[in-house]
Amino acid sequence: MKTKIAPKELWYGSCSYWTDDWDKLNVPDGQIEVTGPGGVKTKVRTGVPLCPVCGAPGFVAPVDEWMKGAQRFEDEGHPRYVEFLNANKETCLPRGFLTSYKMWIASQPVTG
Ligand SMILES: [Zn+2]
């Protein structure tokens, strides 16, 4: 049985795809040429993680900080924002977090 260690960092794309499972990201075997000391050119692997759905680049964030930020955003008048994030984990949302959130909350049945 494979045991996963809880990751300390997560990845979120400019398309709002987010995951803490780095194996799910598309990491192309890209190369760039760099010029080192003495003008020697060498190829270096980039391996920048990309959204596996649309190929958008993204950002790395500490899990704790990112989740605290989401909770803070919810507390500032965006009900169920954390639930929205969890419901849309590993989902490519090219409209972005805020627009997708507004659409999601509008589609939810009214309770209470
Ligand atoms: Zn995407």
pLDDT tens sequence across 58-106 = 999 999 999 999 999 999 999 999 999 999 999 999 999 999 999 999 9
Taking the CA atoms of the chain, what radius of gyration do you get in angstroms?
18
Residues 6+ apart with CB under 8 A from 38: none
User: What is the distance in A from the centroid of ligand 1 to the CA of 5?
Assistant: 25
pLDDT at 8 over 70: yes
Is 101 within the bounds of a domain?
yes
2 pLDDT band (50/70/90 cuts)?
Answer: low
Cα 72 to Cα 62: distance, rounded to the nearest angstrom:
15
Q: Assess whether pLDDT exceeds 90 at residue 36.
A: no
> What's the structural domain count of the chain?
1
Q: Would residue 20 count as lying in a domain?
A: yes
Does 16 reside within a domain?
Answer: yes
Domain that holds residue 28: 9-36+47-106
Residue 108 Cα to ligand 1 middle (Å): 23
> What stretch of H or E contains 51?
none
Q: Is residue 55 part of a domain?
A: yes
In a domain? residue 61:
yes
In a domain, 42, yes or no: no
